[in-house]
Amino acid sequence: MGKYEELADFIIEHVGGEANIQSLQHCMTRLRFILKEEAKAETEKLKGHQGILSVVKGNGQYQIVIGTQVKHVYEAIGERIPRLEAATNKEEPKKNSKLSQFADMLSKIFSPILPVLGATGMIKGILVLLTTLGWMDKASGTYQLLFIIGDSLIYYLPIYLGYTTAKYFKSNLFIGMVIGACLVHPNVLTMMKGDVLEVLFTGSVIESKVYASFLSIPVLLMNYTSSAIPAIAAVYFAGKVEKYAKRGVPELLHTFLVPLITLVIAVPATFIVLGPIATWAGNILGQVTLAIYKISPVIAGGVIGALWEFCIMFGMHRSFTPITLNNIATLGYDQVMAARFAFPLVVTGVLLATVLKAKKAEEKSGVLPTFISSFFGITEPGLYGVILTNIRLMIITSLSTGLAGALMGLFGSRYYVLGGGGIFVFPSYINPEGFDTRSAGAMIALAAGFAAAFILTFFFGRSKNSALCGKEENKQEMEAASALKQMIIPSPLTGDLVALSEVQDEVFSKGIIGKGIAVYPREGKIMAPAKGVVKAIFPGGHAIGITTDSGVELLIHIGLETVNLKGEGFISHIQQGDVIKEGQLLVEFDVQRLAEKGFDMTTILIVTNTAQYLDILPLQEAGTIEVGKPLLSVVQ
């Protein structure tokens, strides 16, 4: 009996036997069972088998992750249970929690603008530093022009969020932008300077002055510049209106009549209802987070700082950006999450000590590039390539960031501008009204975090009895790192980048199959990222396995749960065994039609033989990527 047959028998026995299997199908890496009684399956025993990578329960299925050899196991099970046929799950898929869905939504809405938001914030922070030091006059033309550049994105944030929110909800992008523009139109602030018609909700936390009315309905005008929540809520509502308008308007008149109806309904509704409610919610959120923080600022700052390393590892860090933006917009600063911005300097301290402590030039050259990038605020290469390979460095990083956070809590430090990282983070902690004790405390905390990281790493960072490996293995690891040869994998498609940790499928997000990145496609074409051989292509073409000429084994998985489409909406231009050239068209698919059917079209690019390499690093983590542009670095 072969290994696949033995594994098939083991799986059948421990999923509760043949009688407990209702149906079975498979995709590129996993078996997808629908069991009559899931409780009968012995999950821990299944996970313990060396031929099984993991067990995942989701979408109404009991999924056993095998890897790229799944087809052989599937066929072996089919030989033993002939009645089984690949079938689509007929049950209503189980959804993720509402909180998880909300966090994912915010992450995808904010991710495209974060790089530019950081750049413009950096400009504002530097201007604060220059004026505080007396090196630049606020009345000068130079200051005014640079301030316009730095302030433009955050001031008109609702317009940009109108675009990204409409894109997320797959509604008209320009309607989203118009709604955002309405929120920040100068006439809104002009009307708020006029006479007060009446006061609503007097004596409550939401007391509001009425300056205007719409069709005799009171309009609760708010200052929406730099706000986030109102724009997101408004564009979400507009998307619903647009959908109903398309149903009721003849298709011939869609071009102009649907936007007209959508805007005439959505914009007044936003100013009358949605905007005020969203603004109140944002204000309450800011006050609540601040109240929690004030219970013990030192402990809160220390905990946030200490856990930030792990937030990044699990892809949770972007979910906190809206809190920071909301607090800055409503309070003028963020005190709650201020500790997290010490992290790049802490990583820089760890890496600097690692470079100075290295005895060989090869070792220094392996870590030096990651130190430089962290110095300027890009921590991922140092975090994933150096720190996470050594348990002591992980602990030092956590403790040092926690120290910086606790000190910020002690001094009551505030973060005023969402700006740059690393060395560029200092201006963001300076009060625009003048350097004060809070600002001084932040400088002390940042310096303490860097110093603690450097000193602890220099004296305790490497041990002959490392918790991860012995002396000889440490030596081999450093020799491997010193070589630091890279193979660049270009993007097989054009779209918006999504961190693998944010993909709504834990087999991919937890790296069970391998490391990589995801892209939400803008075009329905998959091109060959490199020369190689098609080792596998799933019937229908939603998943492709490629072995490149350099030996990298790639999996391109188009969409999530698209195995259920059985090829519908896909056109494959290749067959298993084909020799392919870089840039060759592999598969075509209809992004919009499949998305309208309810499928998440996030496309995964994974190196399935990750274990053979030192690391797999995304060359870019946010924004857009064009087909053929560098996407992944395979470090060996």
Q: How many other CB atoms sit within 10 Å of the CB of residue 272?
A: 16
As a whole number of angstroms, the distance between CA 543 and CA 63 comes to: 17
Q: Which of 287, 170, 304, 286 is nearest to 238 (CA)?
A: 170
As a whole number of angstroms, the distance between CA 382 and CA 394 comes to: 11
**469 is annotated as an active-site residue:** no
As a whole number of angstroms, the distance between CA 169 and CA 106 comes to: 12
**311 is annotated as an active-site residue:** no
Contact 499, 521 (CB under 8 A): no
For tokens 């070792």, the residue is 363
User: CA of 181: how far to CAs of 33, 159, 173, 186, 603, in Å?
Assistant: 49, 5, 12, 10, 32
Using the Cα atoms of residue 27, residue 30, residue 31 and residue 33 in order, give the sign of their dihedral.
Answer: negative
Q: What's the number of CA atoms in the CB half-sphere (13 Å) around residue 42? A: 11
Residue 158 CB partners (closer than 8 Å, separation 6+)? 179, 180, 181, 183, 184, 224, 225, 227, 228, 230, 231
Q: Which of 107, 160, 150 is nearest to 621 (CA)?
A: 107
Q: What's the number of CA atoms in the CB half-sphere (13 Å) around residue 151? A: 11
As a whole number of angstroms, the distance between CA 217 and CA 91 comes to: 46
Q: Of residues 14, 26, 27, 542, which has the active-site annotation? A: 27
As a whole number of angstroms, the distance between CA 615 and CA 480 comes to: 11
Question: For the packed helices 437-460 and 343-357, what is the interaxial angle rounded to 10 degrees?
Answer: 30
Helix count and strand count (H, E) for the chain: 22, 22
**What region, left, alpha or beta, does residue 431 occupy, with left being phi > 0 and alpha being psi -120 to 50 degrees?**
beta
Q: Where are the beta strands (DSSP E) in 11-161?
A: 21-26, 30-35, 54-58, 61-65
Using the Cα atoms of residue 464, residue 470, residue 476 and residue 478 in order, give the sign of their dihedral.
Answer: negative
Contact 416, 333 (CB under 8 A): yes
Q: Of residues 14, 26, 317, 557, which has the active-site annotation? A: 557
Residue 139 CB partners (closer than 8 Å, separation 6+)? none
Bridge partners (DSSP) of residue 516 are 606
As a whole number of angstroms, the distance between CA 588 and CA 492 comes to: 12
Residue 60 CB partners (closer than 8 Å, separation 6+)? 34, 89, 91, 92, 93, 94
Catalytic residue list: 27, 557
